[in-house]
Amino acid sequence: MKQLRKAIRLCAVLLAVMMLLPILYGGYSLARYGRRWRTSEYNTYQTGMKSSVIAGNIYDRAGVLLATTDPASRSRVYPGPEDQRRALAHVVGNARGTVKNAVETFMADYLYGANMSYAERFTQTMQGELRGDDLTLTIDSGLQAYIASIFPADKNGAVVVMNYRTGEIYAMNSFPTFDPASSAYVGINQALNRATRWLSAPGSTFKIVTLAAALQNMPDAEERTYECTGGLSFGEHQRTVRDYGGTVHGALTLRRAFTQSCNSTFAALACEMGDRALRRTAEAFGIGDDFTFRDLVVENSAYAVTDQELLGADLAWTGAGQHQLSLSPLHMCMIASCIANDGVMMEPRLLLSAVSPTGVQRAAFESVAYRTALPAQTAQIIRGYMRDVVTGGTGRSAQVPGLSICAKTGTAEIDTQEKDNAWFVGFIENGSLPVAVCVVVADSGTGGSVAAPIAQEIFRYVTRK
């Protein structure tokens, strides 16, 4: 009889746990992913709100109107010249929700009044209409349009400009683009926000991470002399990590290897440190994280497609910025910003404020530190290396007189493309002008010759503001 009672109690406990776990997980999921669920196109409640509420306005940081609603037709209107509308298409979105997780969809709970109280809803109903909140973004529409005007017209790619101290996104361009005011069909290629959702090997810009790993795991890394013979060969299938254009750098320091972007040296560093050390540093920079930011959705980056330890040529190519690495332009901009910000990576922010028709502030900008990736002293060393890249290395085309610019270029080889993807990440080393930039031009050439000059023009533009 006692055994029966024990069995019954055990079953009761197990049943209670089984009932409690889904509730706890549901609460956790709602807190973590609630915005994504509420703004999903499959949320019928949200669809109903759109049919009964006049959506709020969307402004840029200077108060420029980017989207509004025609009270008579209830249709969304995107004012301003066409070049500005096209430049902002992937940030703002359009009424049809073509761009997944653009402001029009991801922040629909604000725009369509999902957060208004019952009292507010009653008052607005008595006044004859329901109206959602107005949003002010961190985006600078002038900068966004300028970037679109200097980006190669026939190329795909992305540009991100952010404040490395606060995480404010000043520009988030994606190419190709489209006109949100047009009813013309928008293809998948145009709808993809390449700044946040497109993943690629970042080429030599990843050497920032490899350098950080070497500085933290190899005490004598800066004192040693490295020998570059133009390539590093491995026995398996005669695989060789080669330097761009077959360049032979000869004997060089770690600083010089970074400045000249020597693949052989960074491949050798990765192999000497081992996969665990390099992977651990990559994870410290957020690679492999489940990105669930407040204001936007960013595709998760990956170090490799498997958790198995990388060896030989696979590890070597990873250290040089290739193999199975996949990062978004926004994440690479966050990594550069982290170096500029003494090792602290800020959460990217897109929303300055959400204000109701009666002046109630639903949301306000708040700067949030996402993680500390490395010690401030290590970040300071890397800044010096990145400064040399611009003054005497592969990033010379990004120089601007009067500015101290730190950067790293990258040239990612893609098997399916005729040309390489050109990458550039960098920042202005100035606390009163804390601007970081990532430029990617797909299927175009080298980072130093294609992406760096675009970054140079962006740096010039922000200094004139």
- pLDDT at position 199 is 96
Cα–Cα distance measured from residue 244 to residue 238, given in angstroms and rounded to the nearest whole number? 18
For residue 357, give both structure tokens. Answer: 């028709």
Cα–Cα distance measured from residue 183 to residue 97, given in angstroms and rounded to the nearest whole number? 12
Tens-place pLDDT, residues 260-283? 999 999 999 999 999 999 999 999
- pLDDT at position 26 is 47
CA distances from 353 to 53, 138, 286 (A): 20, 9, 27
- pLDDT at position 445 is 92
Q: Pairing relation of β-strands 134-137 and 58-59? A: parallel
- pLDDT at position 11 is 65
**Residues whose CB falls within 8 Å of the CB of residue 95, separated by 6 or more in sequence, listed in order:** 75, 76, 104, 180
- pLDDT at position 50 is 63
CA distances from 130 to 168, 385, 456 (A): 31, 56, 46
Cα–Cα distance measured from residue 376 to residue 319, given in angstroms and rounded to the nearest whole number? 22
CA distances from 326 to 66, 241, 288, 340 (A): 32, 19, 10, 22
CA 232 from centroid of its chain's CA atoms: 32
Neighbours of 269 (CB within 10 A): 26
Cα–Cα distance measured from residue 278 to residue 220, given in angstroms and rounded to the nearest whole number? 17
- pLDDT at position 4 is 59
For residue 153, give both structure tokens. Answer: 């017209």
- pLDDT at position 246 is 75
Cα–Cα distance measured from residue 333 to residue 337, given in angstroms and rounded to the nearest whole number? 6
Sign of the Cα pseudo-torsion (32, 36, 42, 45, in order): positive
Residues in the chain: 465
* Superfamily the domain 203-349+367-464 falls into: DD-peptidase/beta-lactamase superfamily (3.40.710.10)
Contact criterion met (CB below 8 Å) for 335 and 374 = no
- pLDDT at position 5 is 61
Residue 400, SS3?
A: coil
- pTM of the predicted structure, to 2 decimals: 0.89
Cα–Cα distance measured from residue 447 to residue 449, given in angstroms and rounded to the nearest whole number? 6
Neighbours of 338 (CB within 10 A): 27
Sign of the Cα pseudo-torsion (267, 271, 273, 278, in order): positive
- pLDDT at position 29 is 44
Nearest to 157 by CA among 196, 199, 194: 194
Burial class (CB in 10 A: 0-12, 13-18, 19+), 240: middle
**Residues whose CB falls within 8 Å of the CB of residue 147, separated by 6 or more in sequence, listed in order:** 87, 159, 161, 171, 173, 454, 458
**176: cis peptide before it, omega within 30°?**
yes
Cα–Cα distance measured from residue 347 to residue 376, given in angstroms and rounded to the nearest whole number? 18
Tens-place pLDDT, residues 40-83? 554 544 555 566 788 999 999 999 999 999 988 888 999 999 99
- pLDDT at position 143 is 98
State the Rg of the chain over Cα: 25
Residue 441, SS3?
A: strand
Contact criterion met (CB below 8 Å) for 371 and 345 = yes
DSSP string, 242-264: E-GGG---EEE-HHHHHHTT-HH
Q: Which residues of the chain have pLDDT under 50?
A: 25-33, 35, 37, 42, 44-45
H helices of 207-326, in order, are 207-217, 254-259, 263-273, 275-284, 312-319
- pLDDT at position 283 is 97
Cα–Cα distance measured from residue 300 to residue 293, given in angstroms and rounded to the nearest whole number? 11
- pLDDT at position 276 is 96
